[in-house]
Amino acid sequence: MCGIWALFGSDECLSVQCLSAMKIAHRGPDAFRFENVNGFTNCCFGFHRLAVVDQLYGMQPIRVKKFPYLWLCYNGEIYNFKQLQKQFGFEYQTLVDGEVILHLYNRGGIEQTASMLDGVFAFILLDTANRKVFLARDTYGVRPLFKVLTDDGFLGVCSEAKGLINLKHSTSLCSKVEPFLPGHYEVLDLKPSGKVASVELVKFHSCKDEPLHVACDTVEALPPGFDLETVKSNIRILFENAVRKRLMAHRRIGCLLSGGLDSSLVAAVLLKLMKEININYPLQTFAIGMENSPDLLAAKKVAAHIGSEHHEVILNTEEGIQAIEEVIFSLETYDITTIRASIGMYLVSKYIRKKTDSVVIFSGEGSDELTQGYIYFHKAPSPEEAAEESERLLKELYLFDVLRADRTTAAHGLELRVPFLDHRFTSYYLSLPAELRIPKNGIEKYLLRLSFEDSNLLPKDILWRPKEAFSDGIASVKKSWFSILQDYIDQQVDDLLLEKAAEKYPFNPPKTKESYYYRQIFEKHYPGRSSWLPHYWMPKWVKATDPSARTLKHYKSATQE
């Protein structure tokens, strides 16, 4: 996890512009570099480094002797860089996994480069010999990327929008800062003036398609067919492989553990594999919640079962409420459920950074979208519509859960790893017949649970534990986190303000005091940028006015039975 920033064709003094690059310093607390591009005095790169791999030669922009005309700034991890080296005979100059991007590009161009990378990434590649700039982002947008391109060809690129919104330019056209679409690459011509012109934006991978890099995967061809035992076995093989490849790190590995199915599976498989490869420190697991909250109790049980060094962070309501503004600033969104769920994750990340030496943090993001884990999937009219909704959620992850997971951890200089969003695992799961993937017997994620039933990785009651929304699971059952927030916010927002909300905020107008409160804070830091969120996250097929799972009829907590 790092922070990348680049400008092409700046009219303003670069020493002034680079102040904007410091807005993302939290993403790379270990080192910073600012570098001008030879021959293009108005083009530059900025890089904030979190040293996870190759601590000696890992600074960026990456340049190697073999390709002196290539400049690379990237944020991410490429898990198959050694397999690609073996397959194509690449000679690496550093131990940095991202160096493979230069070799792939030289060998087959940008299309092959983006398609062959197994990992999470956002990158800026400059080819001064052919006067091209390339931008690319991984399939699910696990690593963030924003850009601004003015009509006269000034380009700014950054890991977070906050590093672009205050850029200076001769025209007042710098307003259109927007997220770069996941699963895409863009080709831009670099003019002698340093300005650029967009040539094409190409979608190189869709979540349903088996990725091209399967050809050099460590797991070979899987048994075909959709009989249940074959499917269960393939799911276990691919998930374990997804966790194994993410063990690549020179810094200590930890794991978020809510006690729900997803994070518990990740933690259990992670600990098993760490023992297999003789990692000689205990796995630290981290849970946050109010005292006696469902998540804390379940997480403690899982940690005891798998044998991790478990840390509990007790959330008090005052601390949670005080964190709201800094969380919204970090997130760059005003989405209701994203903010709620981010408060706990932000505070547990803060604890990890201050109190431990774990830096590479595993988490369970992506499972709910992939395996139909949200409670409203029980209301899906048909398996086919449930499958379509699952794909829609995966495509929008970069606006919601993946955004939350990245920003809350990156704010504290941690690197997140999400095995459920492994390209091969997700494409296989989505290839299964729609009726196999739906909730069964009143239980969501039925197929995933069934696949691990005989593994003894988790206690049975955890494996079959009903879904808790993260923002709700950290609260006590009697009073959920969202109702605590609303009680506080009720005192902060006047009824009259809410009545006139649609006049003040015509785009995505707030419907509740809570959403109004979040919007006010967002507009304070990012005025006029409401289009970054196309729509609020809300459950489908139900008449919901609130995104919390607790407001749905199907929701039934264990202590209410």
- Find the catalytic residue in 2, 43, 73, 207: 2
10, pLDDT greater than 80? yes
Identify the pLDDT of residue 560: 39
Please report which confidence band the pLDDT of residue 455 belongs to, taking 50, 70 and 90 as the band edges: very high
The pLDDT of 449-459, averaged and rounded, is 95
Cα 217 from chain centroid (whole Å):
23
1, pLDDT greater than 70? no
The span from the CA of 419 to the CA of 421, in Å, is 5
H helix or E strand, kind and range, residue 340: helix 336-355
Taking the CA of residue 377 as centre, how many other CA atoms within 13 Å lie in the half-sphere pointing to its CB? 30
**The two structure tokens encoding residue 35:** 């570098």
171, pLDDT greater than 90? no
Identify the pLDDT of residue 21: 84
Contacts of 275 (CB under 8 A, 6+ apart): none
Q: Residue 24 annotated as binding?
A: no
Identify the pLDDT of residue 40: 87
The pLDDT of 468-472, averaged and rounded, is 54
221-270 tens-digit pLDDT: 899 999 999 999 999 999 999 999 999 988 999 999 999 999 999 999 99
Please report which confidence band the pLDDT of residue 209 belongs to, taking 50, 70 and 90 as the band edges: very high
128, pLDDT greater than 90? yes
Residue 376 burial class via C-beta count within 10 angstroms: exposed 0-12, middle 13-18, buried 19 and up:
buried
38 against 140, higher pLDDT: 140
471, pLDDT greater than 60? no
Query: 3-class SS at 102?
Result: helix
Identify the pLDDT of residue 219: 87
CB 240 within 8 A of CB 413: no
Identify the pLDDT of residue 478: 62
Taking the CA of residue 534 as centre, how many other CA atoms within 13 Å lie in the half-sphere pointing to its CB? 7
Identify the pLDDT of residue 38: 86
DSSP 452-517: TTTS-SS-HHHHTPPP--HHHHTS-SSS-HHHHHHHHHHTTS-HHHHHTHHHH--SS---SHHHHH
Nearest-CA neighbor of 5 among 105, 189, 175, 155? 155
Identify the pLDDT of residue 556: 47
Identify the pLDDT of residue 215: 87
Please give the DSSP secondary-structure letter assigned to residue 137.
E
CB 44 within 8 A of CB 36: yes
- In one-letter notation, the amino acid at residue 121 is F
Q: Residue 97 annotated as binding?
A: yes
Contacts of 527 (CB under 8 A, 6+ apart): none
477, pLDDT greater than 80? no
486-513 tens-digit pLDDT: 899 999 999 999 999 999 999 999 999 9
273, pLDDT greater than 60? yes
Q: Residue 363 annotated as binding?
A: yes
Identify the pLDDT of residue 14: 83
Q: Which domains are assigned to the chain?
A: 3-203 (3.60.20.10), 219-551 (3.40.50.620)
Contacts of 402 (CB under 8 A, 6+ apart): 140, 141, 142, 365, 366, 418, 421
The span from the CA of 8 to the CA of 149, in Å, is 10
pLDDT, mean over the chain: 91
Identify the pLDDT of residue 342: 96
Cα 493 from chain centroid (whole Å):
32
547, pLDDT greater than 90? no
Give me the count of residues in the chain: 561
Identify the pLDDT of residue 558: 39
Identify the pLDDT of residue 158: 96
106-122 tens-digit pLDDT: 999 999 999 999 999 99
Sheet with strand 196-203: strands edge to edge = 62-64, 67-78, 119-127, 132-137, 184-190, 196-203
Q: Is 255 a catalytic residue?
A: no
Lowest mean pLDDT among 26-30, 404-408, 551-555: 551-555
The span from the CA of 157 to the CA of 167, in Å, is 11
62-115 tens-digit pLDDT: 999 999 999 999 999 999 999 999 999 999 999 899 999 999 999 999 999 999
561, pLDDT greater than 60? no
CB 287 within 8 A of CB 361: no
Identify the pLDDT of residue 195: 95
The span from the CA of 187 to the CA of 110, in Å, is 8
299-316 tens-digit pLDDT: 999 999 999 999 999 988
